[in-house]
């Protein structure tokens, strides 16, 4: 008889252990978020006018000190006409980075480097503008 009880005790204890492990496992998984396989949740940070080289925005931030001091903007058309005035015979509305002497386009992109805003890995938009615009020679 004692042998039967001891087998029952072992079975009961085993069931308790297995049940406890199962609950522990559920608790451990409770806070884990499932991996999404939904392709629609994928986001990109590529700005208009270029791909995100290395995953970051290729354009300089408008809050960069040099960009701010030159009143640089990514879109020349947003600049007040009292600021974007004719220079070297080029009317203000026709001035943008692509026809500025300090601009060099990155191949195949709508942005490029600016000699006056030399920030590694960052660029100015081709349709951008700043107060130091100068006619391309
Ligand atoms: S200096 Fe020329 S290329 Fe550079 S931000 Fe100003 S307008 Fe654009």
Q: Is the pLDDT of residue 19 over 80?
A: no
Cα of 132 to ligand 1 centre, how many Å? 6
Question: What is the average pLDDT across 89-116?
Answer: 98
For position 66, what pLDDT does the model report?
A: 97
Tell which CATH classification among 2.30.300.10, 4.10.490.10, 3.20.20.70, 3.40.1410.10 matches the domain 56-125.
4.10.490.10
CA distances from 26 to 19, 29, 100, 129, 133 (A): 11, 5, 63, 58, 64
Average pLDDT value for residue range 16-29: 38
Query: What is the model's pTM?
Result: 0.63
Residue, of 104 and 46, whose pLDDT is higher: 104
The per-residue pLDDT of the chain, averaged, comes to 74
DSSP designation for 36: P
Atom of ligand 1 nearest to the CA of 130: 6
Record the tokens describing residue 119, joined without a space. Answer: 């920030």
Instruction: Give the burial class of 53: count Cβ atoms within 10 A of its Cβ; 0-12 exposed, 13-18 middle, 19 or more buried.
Output: middle
How do residues 45-86 score in pLDDT, each as one tens digit? 333 333 334 458 999 999 999 999 999 999 999 999 999 999
3-state helix, strand, coil in the chain (%, to 5): 35, 10, 50
CA dist., res. 80 & res. 73, Å (int) = 11
* Residues 110-134: tens digit of each pLDDT: 999 999 999 999 999 999 999 999 9
CB 76 near ligand 1, within 6 Å: no
Structure-token pair, residue 79: 């600049």
Measured CA to CA, the distance from residue 44 to residue 52 in angstroms comes to 8
User: Which residue in 28, 33, 25, 135 sits closest to 89, CA to CA?
Assistant: 135
Atom of ligand 1 nearest to the CA of 115: 4
């Amino acid at each position: 008889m004692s042998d039967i009880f001891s087998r029952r005790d072992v079975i009961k204890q085993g069931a308790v252990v297995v049940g406890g492990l199962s609950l522990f496992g559920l608790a451990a998984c409770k806070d884990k978020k499932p991996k999404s396989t939904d392709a629609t949740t994928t986001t990109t940070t590529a700005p208009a006018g270029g791909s995100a080289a290395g995953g970051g925005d290729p354009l300089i931030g408008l809050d960069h000190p040099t960009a701010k001091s030159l009143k640089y903007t990514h879109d020349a058309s947003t600049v007040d006409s009292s600021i974007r005035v004719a220079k070297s015979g080029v009317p203000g509305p026709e001035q943008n980075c692509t026809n500025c002497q300090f601009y060099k386009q990155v191949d195949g992109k709508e942005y490029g480097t600016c000699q006056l805003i030399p920030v590694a890995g960052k660029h100015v938009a081709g349709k951008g503008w700043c107060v130091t615009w100068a006619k391309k020679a």
